[in-house]
């Protein structure tokens, strides 16, 4: 139920109309991101107070027309034709780019015909100093409501807009001035009898979209279908002819309004595009840019990541010093704080990545990359728009998966989400560093560092796997919806940093909150499993380890290490490791690696720490030390090293393919709104990892 | 001479023409909302580096379309 004293305001407009800037301007930091009920489309809203009246402002997805092409646009149509929807607007603020009035007024005229109260903003006036406000008077013919020249940059008329909102009268009826072929009025009359709504345009939309509109109940559906069939209603043809009719009405007025407007930057844009989208330089520039971004991500994020780690470490120390010794303190110090630290440590990378990507988007570069790679990616069941996700996943799959929201075709978006985690992310790095040394000896080949080449091969395997799986999914997933490219390449422009910072803030926040909840619980479970064991097995193991340590006269550090490893072996996690050992033995793994596999389900980078604990050298994460100790391990009952070439290669391949990241699964769940897809993803990635490791080990051992 | 309907793909690189109409189909409305309206000027900027996307200039802004989308744009 809607609060009666709160006024629902919808911000509607085409993509690139400056709608989101207006939203940020109106709501400031008081915004809230959630999802439109029941669908995967993000909903941004904020409640503001103007002269004592409360307005809930909702930023609707960018929309071109009431004949939608994407799931985003369908949301808009669904809400605007469903008066009982909680977001059904009392007032619409329609944002149009004054330089593109002809195109941007199409949807405005459709909304006007639905009888909504509408304030029409002619945005980006700041870019056209020649603009005279008398110029837009002719628009009144079609749009009887308030029309304001506006600028989200200079805040021109922002106060007038707020006044208009404050004086908004809910009962006011806007004048209807239909611009569409009334068809046979009888047809719409028939529909009206079914819907009980008198607005003719509303009924026409019902006739167009009855198959999927929420307003149409199962009872209404067959009746409307009957009308459509008996009257031979040609949906697509009608859409096109209505669109034409509207443009016929809008174009003369729009050209009159914008006749004085000069857009200075389009030839500039064309000149830049001669290089940026050049058939040869374009892709080269793209890859150079990506290389640069990864350099930045690896180098700039390292320091803040270390700060966060040491912050959480000192937090652990502080808590364990201040609180009495108990299981509860252990849970906080060994379970919850490291768990939360594990999330927080990704924040610098996520923030940086989104800073860079939203800057590229604000400038207008990303749509160029989409255009350049659409053809290639489409062959793999992806969309040109997938390029953004594939690029980002080299740093971290989580922001990459969040960036797929721009892909409107559900199947293409889903495939992108499902294959993105196969691209090697930064969390695999420590694992690769530890293991590559066992497979490839140091040295050079043709002047290249051998281990460096092996590194590149691992990344390449990930990329090839992502594209191959995409290709398979293309034929497996049956989901309707046409695939389009049709994308606007906006003129290059200077980025507005406030917008970028808000995007970064919102992404980081949603990552911490949503993924954090799940990591929190799983880290508690993992802590429990590795801290407790059945019966008093762990106490016994500890006693035995102490005895052994005394006998061998070990120093304090070695004693502690021995105890730690004995305890882990007898913990539930140790039992789990032994339990899965038969399954992983064909891959060349023993129960100790088994524990590492289980713990690194939480996050891959846990591998090194677990190895360190198990091989009882304390978990000080010193990779060289871990490697030395691991190199000394022997296969049980033999003289051969445990980490020989076959086992190490097998383990490496396992980490390339396996889905070992709870945060990613949590985000996939959030983006696909069910556990179905993360489970499928987990299953196929695990299978791929298992079978590849099996093959590698059997061939090379 | 022009018995056959010409579409955007018949334009050489850098060549411009006026749009007659967009053929009725699933893309038609979307193309029109991107500014591909009758009497607009369309200029072929270039083909994409990989595959079959085309960069077009419509009056004073830019869009990219696939070949199967471009083929429905009928020109003079």
Query: What does the pLDDT look like over A527-551, one tens digit per residue?
Result: 788 788 888 888 888 888 888 888 8
With CA atoms as reference, the chain B residue closest to A264 would be: B60
Q: How many structural domains is chain B composed of?
A: 1
Cα-Cα end-to-end distance for chain B? 12
**Which pTM was predicted?**
0.77
Query: Under 8 Å CB-to-CB from A315, ≥6 apart: which residues?
Result: A337, A341
pLDDT digits over A175-226, tens only? 566 777 666 678 889 999 999 998 889 999 999 999 999 999 999 999 999 9
Share of chain A above pLDDT 90, in %: 33
> Where is average pLDDT lowest: A129-138, A176-185, A485-494, B33-42?
A176-185
Size of interface A-B (CB pairs under 8 A): 130
> Percent helix, strand and coil across chain A, each rounded to 5?
65, 10, 30
Taking 60 as the threshold, does the pLDDT of residue A3 lie above it? no
Q: Give the Cα-Cα-Cα angle A189, A190, A195 (nearest 5 degrees).
A: 90
CA gap B21, A699 in Å, rounded = 62
pLDDT digits over A323-373, tens only? 888 888 877 877 777 777 767 777 887 788 778 877 887 888 988 999 999
Where does CATH 3.40.50.300 sit in chain A?
6-166
Chain A contact present for B4, CB below 8 A? no
- Which residue among B49, B60, B64 sits closest to A266, beta carbon to beta carbon? B60
Which one has a higher pLDDT value, B39 or A525? B39
Which of B24, B33, B69 should be substituted to probe chain A, the one whose Cβ sees the most A Cβ atoms within 10 Å?
B33
3 state DSSP class of A617: coil
Domain assignment present for B1: no
Q: CATH: 3.50.50.60, 3.40.50.300, 3.40.350.10, 2.60.40.2890. Which one for A6-166?
A: 3.40.50.300
Q: Is the alpha carbon torsion for A153, A157, A161, A163 positive or negative? A: positive
- For chain A, what is the mean pLDDT? 84
Which of A371, A373, A380, A493 should be substituted to probe chain B, the one whose Cβ sees the most B Cβ atoms within 10 Å?
A371
What is the pLDDT, as a whole number, of residue A34? 64
pLDDT digits over A250-307, tens only? 888 887 766 555 555 678 899 999 999 999 999 999 988 877 876 776 678 778 888 9
Q: What's the gap in Å between the CA of B12 and the closest CA on chain A?
A: 15
CA gap A687, A603 in Å, rounded = 18
Taking 60 as the threshold, does the pLDDT of residue A523 lie above it? yes
Q: Check B34 against A103: CB less than 8 A apart.
A: yes
Taking 70 as the threshold, does the pLDDT of residue A590 lie above it? yes
Domain assignment present for B41: yes
Nearest in space to B11 (alpha carbons), one of B43, B55, B47, B58: B43
Q: So what's the ipTM on this one? A: 0.93
Confidence of residue A96 (pLDDT cuts 50, 70, 90): very high
Burial class (CB in 10 A: 0-12, 13-18, 19+), A448: exposed
Write down the residue that tokens 């604990």 correspond to: A613
CA gap A122, A139 in Å, rounded = 11
Share of chain A above pLDDT 70, in %: 90
**Paired tokens of A496:** 């507005």
Nearest in space to A147 (alpha carbons), one of A94, A106, A107: A94
With CA atoms as reference, the chain A residue closest to B69 would be: A486
- Which residue among B26, B38, B52 sits closest to A236, beta carbon to beta carbon? B26
Instruction: Over range A664-675, report the average pLDDT.
Output: 86
What string of DSSP letters covers A431-500? HHHHHHHHHS-S-EETTEEHHHHHHHHHHHHHHHHHHHHHHHHHHH----------EEEPPP----HHHH
Query: Under 8 Å CB-to-CB from B23, ≥6 apart: which residues?
Result: B72, B73, B74
Q: Which residues of A touch B52 (CB under 8 A)?
A: 375
What is the pLDDT, as a whole number, of residue A100? 84
Burial class (CB in 10 A: 0-12, 13-18, 19+), A144: middle
CA gap A89, A8 in Å, rounded = 5
Taking 60 as the threshold, does the pLDDT of residue A667 lie above it? yes
Q: Is the alpha carbon torsion for A452, A455, A459, A465 positive or negative? A: positive
Domain assignment present for B67: yes
pLDDT digits over A593-621, tens only? 888 888 787 778 777 767 766 665 444 44
In which domain, by residue range, is B52 found?
6-75
What is the pLDDT, as a whole number, of residue A617? 44
Domain assignment present for B68: yes
What is the pLDDT, as a whole number, of residue A262? 53
Q: Using alpha carbons only, how large is chain A's radius of gyration in Å?
A: 30
Chain A contact present for B14, CB below 8 A? no
3 state DSSP class of A207: helix
Q: Check A103 against B33: CB less than 8 A apart.
A: yes
- CATH code of the domain covering residue B31: 2.30.30.90
pLDDT digits over A41-85, tens only? 567 889 999 988 999 999 998 899 999 877 678 889 999 999 999
Confidence of residue A319 (pLDDT cuts 50, 70, 90): confident
Taking 90 as the threshold, does the pLDDT of residue A466 lie above it? yes
What string of DSSP letters covers A330-379? HIIIIIIHHHHHHHHTTHHHHHHHHHHHHHHHHHT-HHHHHHHHHHHHHT
Q: What's the gap in Å between the CA of B72 and the closest CA on chain A?
A: 12
CA gap A642, A647 in Å, rounded = 7
């Amino acid at each position: 139920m809607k609060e009666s004293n709160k006024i629902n305001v919808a911000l509607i407009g085409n993509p690139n109309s400056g709608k989101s800037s207006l939203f940020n301007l109106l709501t400031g930091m008081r915004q809230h991101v959630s999802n439109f009920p029941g669908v995967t489309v993000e909903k941004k809203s904020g409640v503001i107070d103007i002269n004592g009246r409360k307005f809930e402002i909702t930023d609707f997805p960018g929309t071109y027309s009431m004949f939608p092409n994407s799931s985003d646009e369908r949301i808009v149509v669904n809400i605007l034709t469903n008066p009982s929807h909680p977001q059904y607007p009392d007032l619409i603020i329609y944002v149009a780019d004054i330089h593109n009035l002809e195109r941007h007024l199409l949807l405005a005229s459709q909304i006007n015909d639905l009888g909504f109260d509408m304030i029409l903003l002619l945005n980006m006036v700041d870019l056209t100093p020649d603009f005279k406000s008398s110029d837009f008077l002719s628009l009144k013919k079609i749009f009887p409501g308030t029309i304001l020249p506006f600028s989200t940059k200079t805040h021109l008329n922002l106060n007038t807009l707020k006044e208009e909102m404050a004086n908004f009268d809910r009962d006011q009826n806007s004048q209807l001035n239909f611009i569409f072929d009334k068809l046979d009025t009888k047809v719409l009359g028939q529909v009206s009898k079914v819907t009980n709504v008198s607005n003719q345009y509303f009924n026409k939309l019902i006739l167009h979209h009855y198959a999927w509109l929420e307003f149409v109940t199962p009872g209404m559906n067959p009746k409307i279908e009957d009308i459509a069939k008996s009257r031979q209603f040609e949906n697509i043809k009608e859409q096109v002819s209505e669109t034409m009719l509207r443009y016929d009405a809008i174009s003369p007025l729009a050209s009159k309004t914008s006749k004085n407007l000069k857009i200075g930057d389009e030839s500039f844009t064309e000149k830049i595009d001669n290089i940026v989208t050049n058939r040869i330089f374009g892709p080269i520039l793209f890859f150079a840019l990506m290389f640069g971004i990864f350099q930045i991500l690896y180098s700039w994020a390292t320091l803040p990541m270390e700060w966060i780690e040491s912050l959480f470490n000192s937090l652990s120390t502080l808590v364990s010093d201040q609180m009495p010794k108990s299981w509860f303190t252990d849970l906080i110090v060994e379970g919850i704080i490291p768990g939360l630290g594990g999330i927080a440590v990704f924040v610098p990378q996520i923030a940086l990545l989104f800073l860079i990507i939203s800057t590229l988007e604000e400038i207008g570069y990303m749509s160029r990359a989409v255009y350049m790679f659409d053809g290639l990616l489409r062959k793999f069941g992806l969309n040109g728009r997938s390029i953004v996700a594939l690029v980002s996943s080299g740093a971290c799959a989580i922001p990459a998966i969040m960036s797929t929201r721009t892909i409107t075709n559900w199947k293409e978006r889903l495939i992108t989400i499902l294959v993105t985690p196969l691209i090697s992310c930064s969390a695999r790095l420590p694992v690769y560093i530890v293991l590559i040394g066992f497979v490839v000896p140091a040295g050079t080949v043709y002047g290249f560092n051998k281990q460096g080449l092996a590194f590149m091969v691992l990344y390449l395997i990930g990329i090839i796997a992502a594209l191959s799986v995409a290709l398979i999914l293309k034929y497996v997933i049956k989901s309707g919806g046409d695939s389009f490219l049709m994308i606007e390449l906006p003129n290059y422009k200077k980025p507005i940093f406030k917008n970028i910072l808000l995007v970064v803030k919102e992404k980081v926040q949603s990552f911490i909150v949503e993924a954090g909840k799940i990591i929190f619980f799983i880290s508690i479970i993992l802590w429990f499993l590795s801290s407790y064991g059945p019966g008093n097995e762990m106490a016994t193991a500890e006693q035995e380890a102490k005895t052994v340590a005394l006998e061998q006269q070990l120093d304090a550090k070695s004693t502690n290490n021995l105890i730690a490893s004995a305890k882990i072996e007898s913990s539930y996690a140790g039992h789990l490791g032994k339990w899965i050992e038969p399954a992983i033995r064909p891959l060349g793994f023993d129960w100790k690696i088994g524990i590492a596999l289980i713990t690194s389900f939480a996050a891959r980078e846990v591998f090194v720490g677990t190895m360190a604990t198990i091989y009882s050298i304390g978990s000080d994460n010193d990779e060289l030390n871990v490697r030395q100790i691991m190199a000394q391990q022997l296969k049980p009952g033999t003289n051969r090293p445990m980490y020989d070439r076959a086992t190490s290669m097998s383990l490496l391949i396992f980490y390339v393919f396996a889905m070992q990241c709870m945060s990613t699964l949590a985000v996939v769940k959030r983006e696909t709104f069910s556990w179905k897809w993360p489970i499928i993803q987990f299953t196929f990635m695990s299978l791929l990892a298992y079978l590849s490791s099996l093959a590698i080990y059997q061939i090379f051992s | 001479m022009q018995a056959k309907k010409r579409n955007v793909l018949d334009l050489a690189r850098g060549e411009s023409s006026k749009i007659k109409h967009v053929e009725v189909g699933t893309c038609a409305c979307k193309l029109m909302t991107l500014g591909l309206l009758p009497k607009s000027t369309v200029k072929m900027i270039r083909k994409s580096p990989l595959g079959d996307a085309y960069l077009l200039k419509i009056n004073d802004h830019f869009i990219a379309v696939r070949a199967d989308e471009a083929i429905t744009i009928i020109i003079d």
